[in-house]
Amino acid sequence: MRLLPPLRLLLVLMLAATGSMVNLSPAAAAQEYRVLQLNLCHSGVNTSCYNGAATLQEARDVISAKQPQVVSLNEICKNDVPQLTGAMGNGYSTFAPARRPDGTPVRCTNGDEYGNGLIFRSATVGTAFSGVYATQDSGSEKRVYVCAEFADLVGCSTHLSTTGSVAMAQCKAAIAMLRDRAAAGKPTFLAGDFNLKYAPLFGPNVQDCNSAPFFRKGDGSVQHIFAANMGFTRTEVTSMRYTDHPALLVALTRP
């Protein structure tokens, strides 16, 4: 076997090392961004899954263990948000109540407003916005979304109708609302309890809500996270004892 001269061998090795650095630098530059989705059944209305303070403690434990960059919260009371924010290191949070047909907030049994929240592990203050979906079922709760927008990211949380066709219309409306930001290249996510499953035997398929540039990851049931202009690393589903939904963590990447 012919051996390379020492100088030529050194040059080849240097070029190979440089090539490796070029190939790895984009991946090395990507930061993991973990989104944790929790439906806590904490209104007190549904006694089959309501467990009071134990639910919040379990949520704090999961947040501390998973160390997400953002938590999406459904079926919570407004005052639950500051109680959970401490587990995130006192980041930025926002909340939006679900609405009654007359426009007043839905209430937890303790009188507090009931709805959806977001907690970001960020010292930066975002611009919060929320809204009521145009399509609603005949029940007493009008479904809503809550979002926070930053200079480099926008994220939303939602909890959709239990009527499949209505949930699908609401899901498509939420994706359409975010599409312009996503199409412009902004990292964007939508998390929540969609009350829609992936490829069910009966009923609408949550994947039919999806459209480019979004992709979807779920817990195998009704909780999902849609994301655009972000990479995907893994999904973790963790059983929870004191609520009727597991914790869904989707680890994304962003520049």
Can you list the positions of beta strands (E) in 20-160? 31-39, 70-77, 92-97, 114-120, 127-132, 144-150, 153-159
Among 27-31, 35-39, 229-233, whose mean pLDDT is lowest?
Answer: 27-31
What are the structure tokens assigned to 24, written together?
A: 């790895």
Q: Is residue 26 part of a domain?
A: no
What is the reported pTM? 0.89
Q: How confident is the model at residue 17 (pLDDT cuts 50, 70, 90)?
A: very low
- Range of 77's domain? 31-254
Res. 128: pLDDT tops 70: yes
Res. 58: pLDDT tops 60: yes
CATH number at residue 177: 3.60.10.10
- Give the model confidence (pLDDT) of 71-125 as tens digits: 999 999 999 999 999 999 889 999 999 999 999 999 999 999 999 999 999 889 9
Res. 15: pLDDT tops 80: no
Distance, CA of 34 to CA of 71 (rounded, Å): 9
Q: Is residue 124 part of a domain?
A: yes
Total domains in the fold of the chain: 1
Distance, CA of 228 to CA of 70 (rounded, Å): 16
Find residue 214's DSSP bridge partners: 228
Q: How confident is the model at residue 19 (pLDDT cuts 50, 70, 90)?
A: very low
What is the reported pLDDT for 90?
82
Q: Is residue 10 part of a domain?
A: no
Res. 173: pLDDT tops 90: yes
Q: Which helix (H) or strand (E) covers residue 8, if one does? A: helix 6-29
